Amino acid sequence: MADLNIEIYGSQVLRQKAEPVQNIDAKVKKIIQDMYDTLHEKSGLGLAANQVGILRRLVVLNNPNINEDMALINPEWKEVDTEKETGEEGCLSVPGIYSKVNRFRKIQVTAQDVQGKQLDFLADGLLARIVQHEVDHLNGILFIDRLSPTRRLVLASKLSRINSNGDNG
């Protein structure tokens, strides 16, 4: 069991854009397995490769609808309609901070699975939220970036305390 180190707010790798995966080779499969182990160890809902210091477009998550793990390779999504929904989010990379975030309620997701099979599915509610949160990570975006300026101001001192703890928590 390989439990990977989680990159914490302040780390540059969380602010960088991850590169597409070209070949789903043994190395990529090993990273995914290690990411699953880390997700379980930390009891997270989802984990993007940036969060373990790897700039590849890889996400693992637990599908809350069927309580089953899934890996999304090169995931993309688009909204099905304009309806948004507010829900509480936290992040393994931003420990101790929880806040309500507005996201699209229903999205269409495309990705490849670990066998290289093309996935194309509708997601709504919590699953849609997790996918949007994780794909944000692949683009260097954190959920706190999506909060209102007022809410960010409220969280500012907590955030600066995380930051001063250094690159790795």
CB closer to Zn ion, 27 vs 41: 41
The answer to whether 135 contacts Zn ion (rule: CB under 5 A) is no
What is the smallest separation between the CB atom of 60 and Zn ion, expressed in angstroms? 12
CB closer to Zn ion, 24 vs 94: 94
Task: State yes or no: is 7 an active-site residue.
Answer: no
What is the smallest separation between the CB atom of 93 and Zn ion, expressed in angstroms? 5
The answer to whether 70 contacts Zn ion (rule: CB under 5 A) is no
What is the smallest separation between the CB atom of 131 and Zn ion, expressed in angstroms? 12
Give Cα 67 distance to the centre of its chain.
17
CB closer to Zn ion, 83 vs 145: 145
Which 84-103 residues touch Zn ion, going by CB under 5 A?
91
How many residues line the site for Zn ion (CB under 5 A)? 1
Q: Is 40 known as a binding-site position?
A: no
Residues of this chain that interact with Zn ion (CB under 5 A) are 91
Give the active site residues. Answer: 134
